[in-house]
A and B are shown apart, each in its own frame.
Chain A
Amino acid sequence: MMQRILIVDDEERFRTTLGKRLTERDLDVETVGSGEEAIKIIKEKLFDVVVLDVKMPGMDGIETLAEIKKVNPNLEVLMLTGHASVDSAVDGMRLGAYDYLMKPCEIDILMEKINGAYDIKAGRDERIRQAEIRRMVDRSPS
C-alpha cells in the first residue's frame, strides 16, 4: 500500500514541486497551503504522515499540529522549519510531532524521516488491528 502524505506549506511552488518529487518516489501526495485547509482535508481523507511547515500565516505550524493531534492522534507529523524556529520545532515535538527538518532540505533525508514516521504509524496501526481482532475473537460466542 502506498504511503499517504499531506504537505502543508504556504509557499505554493515549494509544496507542489516537493509533492511532485515525492510522487515520483511512489508516495501518494496531497498538498494544501494553510493550517485550516489541512484540518479540513484530514477529516475527509486518510493520511499516514503530515509534512508541516512551522512558519505560516494564519494558523501556524504549532497550532495546526495541536489541532491535527486532536482530530487524529494516530497521524505522524514531520515539522519543517527555518533555522530560527528550531525552538518551536522542539515545542512541536513535545506536542507529539515525530521529528523536524530544516528548510531547504535534502530529499533523501526527507524520505528517510517520512519512512521512519510511516514505520511508527504502521507498527501502531498493526498493533491496533491485532487488538481489534483479539477483541472480536473474545466477543464471539464460543
Chain B
Amino acid sequence: MIGNDQKTSYQGLKRYIVFILCLAAALPLGIIGGTLYYQYQSSLSQKVTSQLVSICRQHKESIERFLLETSSALRVVTQLESLERITQKDALQRTFNILQREYNNAFEDIGVIDAQGSHIAYVGPFDLLGKNYLNAAWFRETLDRKIFISDVFLGLRQVPHFIIAVAHGSGQQAWILRATVNAAKFGAIVENVRLGRTGEAFIVSREGFYQTRSRTGGQVMEQLKSKALDLSFFEGVKFWNVKDESGRKVLRAKSWMKDNSWLLVVQQDVDDAFGELYATRNMAILIFILGACLIGLVTFFTTRLLVRRIESTDKARKALDEQLIQSQKLASIGELSAGIAHEINNPLAVIGEEAGWMQDLLKRENLKDLKELDDFKDSLREISQQAGRCKEITHKLLSFARKMESVIKDVDLNKLIEDVLAMRERDATYSNIDLVKQFHPHLPMIYSDPSLLRQVLLNLVNNAMDAIQKGGKITVTTDIGEGDSVEIRVSDTGTGIPQENLSKIFDPFFTTKPPGKGTGLGLSICHGIIDKLGGSISVTSQVGKGTTFSIKLPLEKAKGAT
C-alpha cells in the first residue's frame, strides 16, 4: 500500500516542518538574546574602561601633587633658612616635625649635604651623618637641576626609598636639603587601589623597575619581565585590552608622570571585570538552550501529530480512490457487457424463432415422407439448444451488469439472508460451524438495495466464521423492530472482541488480522452501506463468549438518503 518512497517523503515533510518551525522560533530568540547581550556587554565594558581610566587619572594627579607639594615645601625651607641655622640639630628636627605633620609622616628622614657632598646634618633613624655623596648620581643631578626626585633605590641604607632633594645657592656656597620617602609607605598610595578581585595599581620606572609593589608582577626594585609592559611614551591616559605575559587577558590603563620617568599602571583581569557579564551570558545561554529545547520538543511532537494525520488522511483517501476506481471499472465493464448482450439478444431471438418455425414446418403432413427428416430435426434441435445456450450467456452478462446499479426495490430479507447463508454453507460445514436461522415468519418486505444488503451480510457472516475458526455456531435472526423497522442480528460463538477495540471496530483500517489478511475496510464499508440505506449497525461482544452485530433497517429507505 504505502511504499517506501512515500514513507521517506513523510519523513522529509516532517523534517522540513520541524526545521522551519524551529528556525522561525529560535531565530528571533537568538537575535533578541544576542542583541541584549551585546548591548549589555558594551555598556559594561564602557563602565569598566572609564572606571580604570578615572582611577588612573586620579592617582596620577594625587602622586604628582604629592611630589610637587613635598618638593615645594623643601624648597620653601631652603629659602627661609640659612645653611648655618638648618645645620643645627634642633632646627632641622623642628623642620622635619613640621613636614611630617603636614605630609602625614611620608618622610623617613631629612638631611643637609654641603657642596662637597658631605652629610653635614641629619635627622632620621639611620646613622648617615658624615657620609659623602660626591659621587652619587642624584647629588650631581640635584646641583644641576635644583630640584630632583629620584627613582626608588637602595642607597647606603639598603632599604628601598627615593629622594626628594632641593639645592640652594651655587658654587662652594651651594647646599642641598634632602628628604627621603620610604618606598613601601609611598607605594601604599597606589597599592591600596582595590578593584574587584584582581584590580591593582602600580608604578614602573622608565628603566623597567617596579617603583611600588605589584600583586601580580613583582616587588619593589624588581625588574619588569621583558615585554610585560610597553614602555613607550604617550600623553595623558591610555587604555588597552591586552594579554599579559602569562596569557591572562587584562584591561589596563596607563599614564606617564613625573616628567615621563614613572609609568602608572592600573589593571584588572578581563574575567574579573566582566565576571558579572559572564554570569549573565551563561544565564542567557542556558535560557536560550532550554527555550530551544522546549521549542524543539513542542515542534517535534506537534509535527509528528500533524504528519501522522496527513498520512492517515492520505491513506484513507487512497483507499477511497482505489475503491472508486474499482467500482468505476466494474461499472464500465457492466455497461459494456450489457450493451453487447443487448445487441446479441435480438439476433439470437430471431435465430431461435427461425429454427422453431422450421421445426414447426417439419411437423406438417406433406413433409412426413422427407428422407432426411430425422437429420433435419436433429440439426434444428441443436440450433435451438445452442441459441438457448447463448441466451444463458447474455442473461448472465446482463444480470452482472445490473448488480452495478444501485437498485432500490422490494426485498424479502429472509430470502436474501437464506441466499447468503447458502453461499457459505459448504465452508461452514468444513469448519464444523452450525449456521442457525431464526427468522421471523411474517417479516414485512422492505424497500432497499438487495445487492448492498447481500454484501453487508456476507461480510458479517465471513467475519463470524473467522472469529470461530473451528467448531461453533452462527445464529442469524430476523425480527420486527420498533417503529417501521426490521432488525437483523448475526451472532457467533467465537473469540469475542476486547472492550478497548469495540469502539474502533468500524474505523477504516482497524484490523486485528495479520498484515495482508485484512484491509480493515470490511466493517467500515458495512457501516457506510447501512448508513446509506438509512439504517444503523451496532456491536456487542464478550471476550471468549462471542460477538453480536445488530442491523436496524427502515421498512422504506429514508427519503433524502442517497
Interface residues of A (CB under 8 A from B): 11, 13-14, 17-18, 20-21, 24, 55, 82-84, 87, 102-105, 107
Q: Does B182 contact A (CB under 8 A)?
A: no
Pairwise interchain contact B402-A84, C-beta atoms closer than 8 A: yes
In the complex, the number of residue pairs spanning A and B with C-beta atoms less than 8 Å apart equals 59
B63 CB–A CB distance under 8 Å: no
Query: Given that A84-B398, A84-B401 are contacting pairs, would A103 and B356 also be in contact in the complex, using a CB cutoff of 8 Å?
Result: no
Give the secondary structure class of A's interface: helix
Question: How far is A11 from B387 in the complex, measured between Cα atoms in Å?
Answer: 17
A-binding segment of B260-268, B316-324, B340-348, B468-476: B340-348
Q: Is the CB of B354 within 8 A of A17?
A: yes
Which of A55, A87, A104 contacts B352 (CB under 8 A)? A104
Query: A17-B350, A82-B341, A104-B391 are known contacts; what are 14 more A-B pairs with Cβ within 8 Å?
Result: A11-B349, A13-B350, A13-B354, A17-B353, A17-B354, A21-B360, A24-B357, A55-B342, A84-B341, A84-B342, A103-B345, A104-B353, A104-B387, A105-B349
Q: Is B176 on the interface with A (CB-CB < 8 A)?
A: no
Which of the four size classes fits the interface of chain B? 20 to 34
Task: Tell me, rounded to whole Å, the shortest Cβ–Cβ distance linking B334 to chain A.
Answer: 10
Determine the chain B residues whose CB is within 8 A of the CB of A17 once the complex forms. Answer: 350, 353-354, 356-357
Residue numbers in B under 8 Å from A11 (CB-CB): 346, 349-350
Q: Is B71 an interface residue (CB 8 A)?
A: no
B353 and A18: CB pair below 8 A?
yes
Residue pairs across A and B with Cβ atoms less than 8 A apart, 27 shown, are A11-B346, A11-B349, A13-B353, A13-B354, A14-B346, A17-B350, A17-B354, A17-B357, A18-B353, A21-B353, A21-B360, A82-B398, A83-B345, A83-B394, A83-B398, A84-B401, A103-B345, A103-B346, A103-B349, A104-B345, A104-B348, A104-B349, A104-B351, A104-B387, A104-B388, A104-B391, A107-B356
Task: Check: B165 CB closer than 8 A to any chain A CB.
Answer: no
Which chain B residues lie closer than 8 Å to A103 at the CB level? 345-346, 349
Q: How far is the CA of A54 from the CA of B306 in the complex (A)?
A: 58
Shortest beta-carbon distance from B341 to chain A in Å: 8
The smallest beta-carbon distance between A29 and chain B, in angstroms, is 13
Bound CA span A18–B349, Å: 10
Q: How far is the CA of A82 from the CA of B401 in the complex (A)?
A: 13
Q: Are B354 and A83 in contact (CB under 8 A)?
A: no
